[in-house]
Chain A
Amino acid sequence: MMIHLTGYPNFPPPRGCGTGLLPVCALLLLTGCAAGQSGFQQAASSAGAELAAAASTIAYVHTGRLPVTFARSSFVNYRSALHGTEEQLRTADGAPRGQRLDALLGVYRPAWQAVQRPCLEGGCGWDSQVRALRQASQALVREGGG
């Protein structure tokens, strides 16, 4: 396509930036779309990253590396970022069907519960929450192509 454009004998002289940029944009848009991820992969990848952050936040709090206030505030943002993820994973383009989706949601649900009620203080089984979050994160990152 580029060879055709540059070699075109009567290619009009540049009239403005927009004229010359259009074919370049179109070409890059096409190649960029081809090089991109499906909606499902994007949703899985970004949810996996948020769950990984949530797991590290809980682990850091209980190993004394992060103040509880930081974690409490961070979880407000994790909940906001993960809101509606289950629905997205079901309906996004490229979403798997049947057992594969069920298995993924099966590991995601306990992780989402941990995000909603994170164990940040006292002996409330924080390590099991971290395990659930990491397991779900790994599964989602894998589905996201990471």
Chain B
Amino acid sequence: MTKWLGIALGLLTAIGGFVDVAALATAAEAGAKFQLSLVWPFLLGTLAIIVLLEMAGRYASVSKQPYSGAIRQHLGFKYYLLPLGACLIANTLMLPAELGGMAVALSLVLGVNWFVLYPVAAVFVWLCAWFGSFKTIENGPALLGLVTLAFVAGVIALGGPRPQLLTTLWHPDVAGQVPGYLFLAAAILGAIISPYLVVFYSSGAREEGWSRASLGVNRVTAVVGMAFGCVAALGILTLSAMTLGPMHVQAGTLGEVALSLARPFGAPGAYLFAAALFVTCWGASLEITLAMSYNLSQGFGWGWGVDRPHRAAARFRLTMLLFLALAFCVGLLGLDPLTLTIYASAVTALVLPISLLPFLVVMNNPKYLRDKVNGRAGNIAAVAVIVLAFLIAIVSLPLFLVTGGQA
């Protein structure tokens, strides 16, 4: 019974934790601008993250070693610095976007400028990361994140997409907007295939003491949880296409996305949006902060773990604090959180090969995985999606900049 409860909790947290500010922003903008024609990057990205998280969980369960430590040990210190640098760049852009998302959510409810509330969001994340237990950090925001299913409810309440809208699934109207379309596709892939998730999931499995007996739970959580999580993201995209697109609203700011839930549910819908935005950004902020600390501490061989006494993991704690401070300072530049999110997602897609290919190398080493090394299908699927995301990003990012930004 306890095992099934564990599986149910794992599933719920995976569903609730799937959407973060990047998924929310890219889904809303994609739906408003290109109707349903950008569903494919969500499906492709979900397939990739399922494969990667299953690997991350399997690695932690079988090898019982920290993720980054293995990369450093197997590939050497110099090569370990490459994925670390790539993650640092992507996460330093993404964390202020998540903190900004929390501030925007608070500002909608309080009616003040989001920038005033930005420090409040950062302090709140620090307090949770510093004093919370791993279970609370992992399950709290993710369970509350189930509120994102309100977007799916909104689609149902409005009677679902009309046949004319459904045709955009296979017949996209992107005339004059090719750079914006490709850029957004790259951003979606970067938003879904987040390297920080892989580090957090793998380290979380170690925090919870997963073993070979956990392999079944790992598979179910990764496959079913992420697949249902994708449904929430597709709900945002579809509702945005049904409500914002016809009004010529392009979801240029996060607050505009509230209009999509206000249409079917009125004022309670707007509050649901604020709750969804706050909770998803809160959860992702904690995950990014911890993932960066895990990555650095494991790579350098320091003591690490949220549930360890602070003195036993002092450098892990210090890294957490310094990284949060760094990201906070980036956010002080005052960039709009949605714009920052879209750029951070595209940059994440761009650095995916550097961030994740070393992990795939380790996943094929019997020294760590023994009889549980990757199969050919898993390797091909992961490499194909990572390379595709990279290609789209490397093509669309300069295009997007040259054409002055049309996404």
Contact = CB atoms under 8 A, between A and B. Distances in A.
Contact of B248 (A32, A49, A73): A49
Most chain B beta-carbon contacts within 10 A, residue among A25, A31, A36? A36
B253 A33 contact: no
Interface residues of A, number: 43
Interface in A22-38: 24-25, 28-29, 31-33, 35-37
Contact of A42 (B110, B399, B406): B406
A52 interface: yes
Contacts of B254: 77
A102 B404 CA distance: 25
B259 A67 contact: no
B113 interface: yes
Contact of B402 (A33, A46, A74): A33
B252 A32 contact: no
B137 to A, nearest CB: 28
A28 B395 contact: yes
B252 A53 contact: yes
B275 to A, nearest CB: 13
Contact of B266 (A29, A65, A73): A65
Interface string B76-114: 000000000000000000000000000010011111111
B114 A36 contact: no
B108 A74 contact: yes
A96 interface: no
Interface stretch (B172-180, B302-310, B341-349, B367-375): B172-180
Nearest to A21: B394
A64 B399 contact: no
B252 A74 contact: no
B126 interface: no
A69 B110 contact: yes
Nearest to B246: A52
Contact of B176 (A28, A37, A67, A76): A37
A25 B398 contact: yes
Given A36-B176, A50-B252, A74-B253, A66 B110 contact: no
B156 interface: no
Contact of B253 (A41, A65, A81, A146): A81
23 contacts: A21-B394, A28-B395, A29-B399, A32-B402, A33-B179, A33-B399, A37-B403, A42-B403, A42-B406, A49-B252, A60-B259, A66-B258, A67-B271, A69-B109, A69-B111, A70-B274, A72-B112, A73-B108, A73-B111, A77-B114, A78-B253, A80-B336, A137-B248
Interface of A: 21, 24-25, 28-29, 31-33, 35-37, 39, 41-42, 46, 48-50, 52-53, 56-57, 60, 64-70, 72-74, 76-78, 80-81, 137-138, 141, 145-146
Given A64-B267, A69-B108, 15 more contacts: A32-B182, A33-B179, A35-B178, A37-B406, A49-B250, A50-B253, A53-B249, A65-B263, A65-B266, A65-B269, A66-B258, A69-B109, A72-B111, A73-B107, A77-B336
